[in-house]
Amino acid sequence: MTSHRFSALGPLTGAISVPGDKSISHRSLMFAGLAVGRSTIAGLLEGEDVLATAAAMRAFGAQIARNEDGTWTVDGVGVGSLLEPKTALDMGNSGTSTRLLMGLVASHAITATFVGDASLSGRPMKRVIDPLAMMGAGIEASAGGTLPLMLRGASPAVPITYRLPVASAQVKSAVLLAGLNTPGITRVIEPVPTRDHTERMLTGFGAKLEVGVENGETVIAIHGEADLKPMDVTVPGDPSSAAFFMVAASIVPGSDLTIRNVGLNPTRAGLLAVLRQMGADIEEVNPREVGGEPVADLRVRHAQLTGVDVDPAIAPSMIDEFPVLFVAAALAKGTTRTSGLDELRVKESDRLATMAAALTSVGARVEEHEDGLTIHGTGGEPLRGSANGRVKTMLDHRIAMSMAVAGLVSRDGVMVDDTAPINTSFPTFMPLLEEAAR
């Protein structure tokens, strides 16, 4: 374990670039790996999760290489032509890799075994198993529908119309990916909108995809069997990684920080809206579109935040940003209430319980409910911090980074028990923090 004390460093200033978007990085490797021909990817996030996707796509027959200039070249294997992996696919900590690749295998005549680390092996896969089994895939999972798991694809798979029982972009994407090699039209009905990177990027790669509205619900239809064409992808900066710096610059007095090239897809920009509602000073500079995704530079200046009641309807568009929002709430004036966050209990850790305990241990006033937290802010006064003890992050990268941000506004600093998990999504987090606070 690599523990580290994060202490008040002074204002965050200058300009930084966060790594490429994780969701888009995963998908760019998968879809380029399914196209026939050569694609180039710039700005790929080179964290452990995305590298697990690259390794799996190689096992399916795609050729993937990193070039000296940091771009990646992918020679695809073609939809319908996946090879059967010779060994189990190790997904590490990546729920996205697992659920999307399960969808891919489900409509190919191959068998693949998925394994992962202890944290991933506790996460629910039944939400993906159910629709894929309806399409004809054979799935043998561990007790409780978790990894390790063996999946036998169906050829041909059967097109289905599937209404999402939980708001999950990963489940939606798994069904759409299975639909790529399924004759006919596969439909997903989405009662609550979730991130739409799959739809945007599949369209860019040449899939025939229609998005419509029926009875107030979004319906996404994909036509199989698809032929994907190669495409050059530029991955925007990850809004979930930018989130830590948006909150840090908002709550550290004297800060004026620009975060370059941040993806502002509306299905992901919930935190930006909530921070502005709390009184944050965040300006979008040079808004532009890159590869079908909206992007801007964000200039964030310190502001006194005020507690708010967070609308549960916004949760899917900021589900990964709640841990760091809780830190912003702990420094705000007044009370912040969140609800409708049951999904946070089945992330890399139970993020409601873990953040409630972590923030309480550094002096914040937090009440935990079944589906959210109520946080009584300090009004901008520094948190006490953790003089002696270590904050338990439960091997969860977002908890570790959120508590690092809390350390920047604490009297005694915050000792994070293990910073190693940060590498799964944001390998440059600690160097960037030091650069911004110089």
pLDDT one-digit tens code per residue, 383-438:
999 988 899 999 999 999 999 999 999 999 999 999 999 988 898 999 999 999 98
* φ, ψ of residue 397 in degrees (nearest 5): -60, -40
pLDDT band at residue 292 using 50, 70 and 90 as cut-offs: confident
**Domain assignment of residue 148, given as a range:** 22-226
Total-model pTM: 0.84
pLDDT at residue 210 greater than cutoff 80: yes
The answer on 118 and 99 residing in a single domain is yes
How many whole angstroms from its chain centre is CA 181?
26
Last residue of a domain, one of 202, 226, 250: 226
For residue 152, the model assigns a pLDDT of: 98
Token pair 């338990």: residue? 392
Residues 269 and 363 in one domain: yes
pLDDT for the residue 62: 98
172 band by pLDDT with thresholds 50, 70 and 90? very high
Q: Which secondary structure element, helix H or strand E, spans residue 14, and what is its range?
A: strand 13-17
Residues 190, 45 share a domain: yes
Q: 346 pLDDT exceeds 90?
A: no
pLDDT at 289: 87
394 in the same domain as 251: yes
Do 261 and 198 reside in the same domain of the chain?
no
The CA distances from residue 182 to 227, 228, 346, 425, in Å, are 12, 14, 30, 32
Q: Which residues are annotated as a binding site?
A: 22-23, 27, 95, 123, 168, 170, 320, 347, 351, 398
Last residue of a domain, one of 172, 200, 226: 226
Mean pLDDT of all residues in 38-58: 96
63 near 69, Cβ under 8 Å?
no
At 250, the pLDDT band (50, 70, 90 cuts) reads very high
Residues 212-217 have a mean pLDDT of: 94
Nearest to 316 by CA among 267, 374, 266: 267
Q: Are residues 278 and 373 in the same domain?
A: yes
Annotated binding site for 3-phosphoshikimate: 22-23, 27, 168, 170, 320, 347
Mean pLDDT along residues 340-365: 94
Residue 274 lies in a domain: yes
* Residue 89 pLDDT level (bands cut at 50, 70, 90): very high
Please indicate, yes or no, if residue 60 is contained in any of the structural domains. yes
Bridge-based pairing of strands 256-263 and 13-17 is parallel
Catalytic residue of the set 21, 117, 196, 320: 320
Q: Which token pair is 424?
A: 């799964």
**Is position 231 within any domain?**
no
pLDDT of residue 290: 81
Instruction: Give the separation between CA 345 and CA 178, rounded to whole angstroms.
Output: 27
Alpha helices, H only, 126-234: 126-134, 169-180, 197-204
C-beta separation of 376 from 365 below 8 A: yes
Confidence check: pLDDT of 309 > 80: yes
Q: CATH number, domain at 284? A: 3.65.10.10
Question: Residues marked as binding for phosphoenolpyruvate?
Answer: 22, 95, 123, 170, 351, 398
Nearest to 255 by CA among 322, 364, 361, 331: 331
Co-location of 274 and 305 in the same domain: yes
Q: What is the pLDDT of residues 16-37, one digit of tens each?
A: 999 999 999 999 999 999 999 9
Question: pLDDT category, 43, cuts 50, 70, 90?
Answer: very high
Residues 106, 177: Cα–Cα separation, whole Å: 9
Give pLDDT, residue 387. Answer: 82
Q: Which pLDDT score, from 0 to 100, does residue 348 have?
A: 84
Q: Residue 274 to residues 279, 359, 374, 393, 434: CA-CA distances in angstroms?
A: 9, 20, 15, 24, 26
189: β partners: 163, 219
Angle of helix 397-407 versus helix 429-436 axis, rounded to 10: 20
270 — phi, psi (to 5°)? -60, -40
How far is 224 from 231, CA to CA, in rounded Å? Answer: 19
36-66 burial string, b = 16+ CB within 10 Å, else e?
A: eeebbbbbbbbbbbbbbbbbbbbbbbbebee
What value does the mean pLDDT of the chain take? 96
Q: Are residues 280 and 342 in the same domain?
A: yes
Q: Is 417 an annotated catalytic residue?
A: no
Q: What is the dihedral of CA 133, 134, 137, 138, to 10 degrees?
A: 40
- Average pLDDT for residues 298-319, to the nearest whole number? 95
Report if residue 70 sits inside a domain.
yes
Q: Is the pLDDT of residue 291 over 80?
A: no
Whether the upstream peptide bond of residue 225 has omega within 30° of 0, thus cis, is yes
- Whether residues 206 and 283 fall in one domain: no
Average of per-residue pLDDT across 320-347: 96
Residues 67, 213, single domain; the answer is yes
- Residue 394 neighbours by CB distance under 10 Å: 19
Q: Are residues 147 and 246 in the same domain?
A: no
Please check whether residues 136 and 249 belong to one and the same domain: no
pLDDT(70) > 90: yes
Q: Which residue has the tokens 């369209």?
A: 203
Predicted local distance difference test score (pLDDT) of residue 71: 97
Radius of gyration of the chain (CA): 21
